[in-house]
């Protein structure tokens, strides 16, 4: 199981340093959701390459390729960023059932300028809960965890 991360910020809002950035990011992502949905549908219809790092993370988290593909199909794009080279990077929020519990999962994907679709990595957002709102669908903090 994951260690509990103690962080003084309630999970409804980020720290004061990140508050303005979170507001800007939220507004920008709201404007991009139609575009994100369109790119996500393109991604799902395409041949998808699973990078070594994503494959390693699947093994470490006991997520089979069948679960990963099912999770992708049930996912929801929560962020889209265009890179200067034309690549599109998205974070897909999804969950999958483990026993009787659903685990949240973020899948980081890319569509290259050449339209190649890639799963870059996956992670459980509960590993850094202070970065996310309570539903793990909006990033609210960009600070590094204070381990002191």
Residue extents of the structural domains in the chain: 16-131
Task: Give the Cα separation of 29 and 55 in Å (integer).
Answer: 28
Task: Give the Cα separation of 134 and 148 in Å (integer).
Answer: 24
How does residue 9 score in pLDDT terms, banded at 50, 70 and 90? very low
Give 11-43 pLDDT, tens digit per residue.
Answer: 666 788 888 899 999 999 999 999 999 999 999
What's the pTM value of the predicted model, to 2 decimals?
0.85
Q: What percent of the chain has pLDDT over 70?
A: 89
Q: Is 33 helix (H, G, I), strand (E, B) or coil?
A: helix
CB neighbour list of residue 93: distance below 8 Å, 6 or more residues apart:
75, 76, 77, 78, 104, 105, 106, 136, 137
Residue 68: pLDDT over 80: yes
Q: Please give the average per-residue pLDDT across 82-91, as a whole number.
A: 96
């Amino acid at each position: 199981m994951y260690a509990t991360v103690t962080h003084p910020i309630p999970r409804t809002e980020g720290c004061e340093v990140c508050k303005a950035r979170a507001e800007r990011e939220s507004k920008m992502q709201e404007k991009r959701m139609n575009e994100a949905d369109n790119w996500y549908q393109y991604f799902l219809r395409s041949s998808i390459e699973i990078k070594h790092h994503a494959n390693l993370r699947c093994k470490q988290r006991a997520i089979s390729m069948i679960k990963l593909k099912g999770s992708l199909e049930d996912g929801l794009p929560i962020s889209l960023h265009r890179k200067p080279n034309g690549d599109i990077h998205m974070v897909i929020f999804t969950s999958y059932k483990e026993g009787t519990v659903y685990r949240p999962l973020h899948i980081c994907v890319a569509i290259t300028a050449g339209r190649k679709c890639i799963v870059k990595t996956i992670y459980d957002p509960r590993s850094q809960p202070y970065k996310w709102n309570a539903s793990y669908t909006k990033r609210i903090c960009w600070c590094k965890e204070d381990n002191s």
